[in-house]
């Protein structure tokens, strides 16, 4: 943990953890969309190869979601916003998809390709949210079989980009006529099984990786995880409270605007 002796790096972790925790509570995105670009930048500054830095950023971001999700979902649950019926329907597929992604596919794909995929998919999700297309009034969430398939897709894609799944699950649930506040709260709850399953895979698949920096545990960067998680759990409840005070359209526009910025950065890293 000697990297924590650097004041500048420590301050960066504190700021990143505080901001990502707030956004996790506000938007139900687990904070991963924010953390991955910035942790990539910090690791690159420590001399870590960019391709490896992207993978470590994704894994470390996912690990912090374990803690952020618990803090955020407690605040949403108190307001009765979490759709636990959807959590139980989507979670089994999420765990299966996450394990397939983190144990196999993640280790095989190059870091630059992951960065490009991250940016492209997040940009697509942002566009869907920004346009605020109204779903057909008759459309509803699919049955158990459909939820299993949807959960598998959410878990698999989340494992590739290190996010809690909100960038997929929130648009998906709103497309199925789940109210935005319920979708955000339910997405926060889904972040926990996504994170646990993926983190297990990241540790195993990155265990014998060469060129890892000090403080690495598989693909996880423990100094960043320790500080970011500690700060994010303090600010996630604040974000959840603010979420219930914002109008639906404004919440969607905030979500989309933030995703556009982060998608552009990761596309730049991947293409560069």
Q: Which residues of 81-112 are buried (b: 16+ CB within 10 A; e: fewer)?
A: bbbeebbebbbbbbbbbbbbbbbeebeebebe
What pLDDT is attached to residue 1?
A: 46
The pLDDT, as a whole number, for residue 84 is 92
- Residue (of 141, 138, 121) closest to 129 by Cα position: 121
d(CA 207, CA 210): 9
**Backbone phi, psi, residue 71, to 5°:** -65, -45
C-alpha distances in angstroms, 230 versus 9, 14, 17, 103, 129?
A: 15, 8, 7, 27, 30
Task: Name residues of the chain where pLDDT drops below 50.
Answer: 1-2
């Amino acid at each position: 943990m000697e990297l924590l002796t650097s004041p500048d790096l420590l301050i960066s972790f504190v700021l990143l953890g505080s901001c990502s925790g707030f956004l996790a509570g506000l938007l139900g995105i687990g904070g991963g969309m924010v953390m991955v670009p910035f942790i990539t930048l910090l690791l690159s500054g420590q001399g870590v190869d960019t391709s490896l830095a992207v993978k470590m950023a994704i894994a470390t971001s996912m690990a912090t979601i374990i803690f952020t999700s618990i803090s955020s979902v407690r605040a949403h649950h108190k307001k009765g916003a979490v759709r636990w019926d959807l959590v139980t329907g989507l979670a089994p597929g999420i765990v299966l998809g996450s394990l397939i992604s983190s144990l196999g596919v993640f280790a095989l794909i190059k870091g630059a390709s992951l960065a490009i995929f991250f940016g492209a998919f997040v940009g697509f999700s942002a566009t869907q949210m920004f346009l605020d297309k109204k779903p057909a009034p008759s459309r509803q969430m699919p049955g158990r079989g459909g939820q299993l398939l949807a959960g598998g897709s959410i878990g698999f894609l989340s494992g590739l980009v290190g996010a809690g799944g909100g960038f997929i699950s929130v648009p998906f649930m709103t497309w199925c006529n789940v109210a935005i506040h319920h979708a955000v709260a339910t997405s926060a709850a889904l972040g926990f099984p996504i994170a646990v399953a993926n983190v297990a895979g990241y540790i195993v698949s990155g265990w014998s990786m060469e060129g890892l920096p000090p403080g690495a545990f598989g693909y996880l960067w423990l100094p960043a995880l320790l500080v970011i998680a500690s700060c994010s759990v303090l600010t996630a409840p604040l974000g959840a409270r603010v979420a219930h005070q914002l109008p639906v359209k404004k919440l969607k526009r905030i979500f989309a605007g933030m995703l556009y910025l982060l998608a552009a950065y990761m596309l730049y890293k991947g293409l560069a």
